[in-house]
Chain A
């Protein structure tokens, strides 16, 4: 072995240096990306504890000279029903998510594991459904809801999203890797297809369900477009619409109070994500969806 001639002798020092440099490069890029993503959020937090005079100051400072947080948060809490908005957000997201799961999981199971004529054509239709943005059916949906007298209800806010094509697609991909033998064993043990879905397949799909829940909750918590169309009653407003009402009516240009309200309304999402972070990442890696 000693008489082997290496083409380019790599000294330990040089290889260590190279590894160090590549680490610096990789982490540098990642840190830059993280800063870019976090900057608006941090700016919101900082603004929410600044007095009005400092907000409009020309110099950029990451910490206020005068801590004005209590006043800003107090004003936001007092003048706007933020907890009501948050509760509306929870009802909206929870209601949508539950119905989405109830519909999408059996659909995905059928598309992944049952063989019936037209299955592939149906799946193609599902994929086509992914391409249709919510703005396209907005008019007919609005007219239908108005005719039924359902405007200004939670139901009106939720109904367009009950059937999530994305959820069907995601769960189908996940269920496809579920072993057929286990499903066959369940059939031999006397389970109906519905029981197989809920008692055997779904418990194994927690990573996918957690991942989808985060997507769904974030999307509908932050959705302004559809609530703006069907809701005019401030008591039913979800967070973004509530923020809009609040900005118009109460605060004008009180950015400190506005950002304080925004901080309060984004907090539940951030906390929920931090709690479910591990599962969320599992779900994405398992399903290969991002």
Chain B
């Protein structure tokens, strides 16, 4: 168990800057997820932590001591790869045992023939076997130890890869998109298993994914990356409820956040579709801003609602049935916004007809305001209020 500290890590491949001065402190026992679109540098960052890649600048400490000069296996980290990276010609048992044989046997004790001369080897191998058996039992792999990786299903291979990482008892687990090769159902299942494994082991986990659902569901904290920089670091709910920029808001959350073009009028009041809202922001009048509204912040309203609730009219394009709820897709007739989505209970959804013109309302306090450059703008006099905003469930 150890904390991990990255300071101003930078890396370029040729002329392409992949990481641009990353600072990140990961607490002991934390589950931290690096999330971002492909090519954002998250995989390079985790490979630098593992020691498989060397940073151009900056330093890295694990457990309080610098590890920049250490080779991968000396860093006491274990990694699970997207492709599982199991040794194809070795049995499951040999795969899991390999890190231990490397650590506990000397070179000559691992050589063919020569190893037969070692009396000590047998005792060491017995110890390794019992450790492997213990890990295999935890992961329900006991009956598969003699199989070859090619004979296993995707989920089983995933667990073998986990076992190979666990058996070393590492200070830090590194996981590079470990679930992306699994089918959807198994992925959901493994999410729970991984979260429980983390709770049980209490080890630091650094997890890389491009799937925001994985990031939201498993992590203690999430670092959202883009173009080699960390855009926002915080708990999943901080990222969801207070996205620091337009990019974070767009990436986190499903269905994606609704973005509506708005402008700043006299006195910093935000104007949506020509109607002034109660919201006011510390920006010069005339500037364009973007209003971000989560799909659950919208609700159907009758007439003109008052009391801090704004509204606009829309036309239903499509209903998406998710079973427990519906996602309603609306067109904003005659406006240049692409459309909005709203979550609704089946009862509310049943009340809306296709192509029907409706009025959608939202709590102004639930709206996120982003300046033209994409940064979040806190509305005036609402700093405290927005921090405690609880997303409203439409119709609920």
Which B residues touch A27, using CB under 8 A? Answer: none
- The verdict on B385 contacting chain A, using a C-beta distance below 8 Å, is no
Q: Contacting A188 at CB < 8 Å: which of B77, B83, B84?
A: B77
Q: Contacting B89 at CB < 8 Å: which of A187, A191, A195, A204?
A: A204
One of A93-101, A178-186, A212-220 at the interface: A178-186
Contact A187 B73 (CB under 8 A): yes
How far is B168's CA from A190's CA once the two chains are assembled, in angstroms?
11
Q: Which residues of A (199-228) have their CB < 8 Å from a CB of B?
A: 200, 203-204
Q: Which residues of A (154-181) have their CB < 8 Å from a CB of B?
A: 179, 181
Contact B102 A185 (CB under 8 A): no
Contact A190 B99 (CB under 8 A): yes
Which B residues touch A185, using CB under 8 A? Answer: 79, 81, 85-87, 164
How far is B52's CA from A184's CA once the two chains are assembled, in angstroms?
7
Contact A181 B99 (CB under 8 A): no
Kindly supply a per-residue 1/0 record for chain B positions 137-148, scoring 1 wherever the CB is within 8 Å of any chain A CB and 0 otherwise.
000000000000
Residue of chain A at shortest CB distance from B81: A181
How far is B181's CA from A179's CA once the two chains are assembled, in angstroms?
15
Beyond A187-B52, A189-B102, whether A181 also contacts B83 by CB under 8 A is: yes
Which A residues touch B89, using CB under 8 A? Answer: 203-204
- The verdict on B88 contacting chain A, using a C-beta distance below 8 Å, is yes
How far is B156's CA from A42's CA once the two chains are assembled, in angstroms?
54
How far is B117's CA from A266's CA once the two chains are assembled, in angstroms?
42
Contact B98 A179 (CB under 8 A): no
- The verdict on B45 contacting chain A, using a C-beta distance below 8 Å, is no
With both chains docked as a complex, state the minimum distance between the C-beta of B86 and any C-beta of chain A, in angstroms: 8
Which B residues touch A187, using CB under 8 A? Answer: 52, 71-73
How far is B95's CA from A200's CA once the two chains are assembled, in angstroms?
11
Kindly supply a per-residue 1/0 record for chain B positions 60-103, scoring 1 wherever the CB is within 8 Å of any chain A CB and 0 otherwise.
00000000000111000111011111111100000000110011
Contact A188 B87 (CB under 8 A): no
Which B residues touch A182, using CB under 8 A? Answer: 83, 85-88
Beyond A188-B50, A189-B99, A191-B102, whether A200 also contacts B87 by CB under 8 A is: yes
How far is B88's CA from A213's CA once the two chains are assembled, in angstroms?
23
Residue of chain A at shortest CB distance from B176: A181
Contact B85 A204 (CB under 8 A): no
Q: Which residues of B (241-259) have their CB < 8 Å from a CB of A?
A: none
With both chains docked as a complex, state the minimum distance between the C-beta of B51 and any C-beta of chain A, in angstroms: 8
Residue of chain B at shortest CB distance from A200: B87
With both chains docked as a complex, state the minimum distance between the C-beta of A194 and any C-beta of chain B, in angstroms: 10
Contact B102 A184 (CB under 8 A): no
Which B residues touch A188, using CB under 8 A? Answer: 50-52, 72-73, 77-79, 99
With both chains docked as a complex, state the minimum distance between the C-beta of B181 and any C-beta of chain A, in angstroms: 11
Contact A204 B52 (CB under 8 A): no
With both chains docked as a complex, state the minimum distance between the C-beta of B80 and any C-beta of chain A, in angstroms: 9
Which B residues touch A190, using CB under 8 A? Answer: 73, 99, 102-103
Contact A189 B81 (CB under 8 A): no
Q: List 9 A-B contacts (CB under 8 A).
A: A181-B83, A182-B85, A182-B87, A185-B79, A185-B87, A188-B52, A190-B73, A191-B73, A200-B87
- B residues near A, CB below 8 A? 47, 50-52, 71-73, 77-79, 81-89, 98-99, 102-103, 110, 164, 168
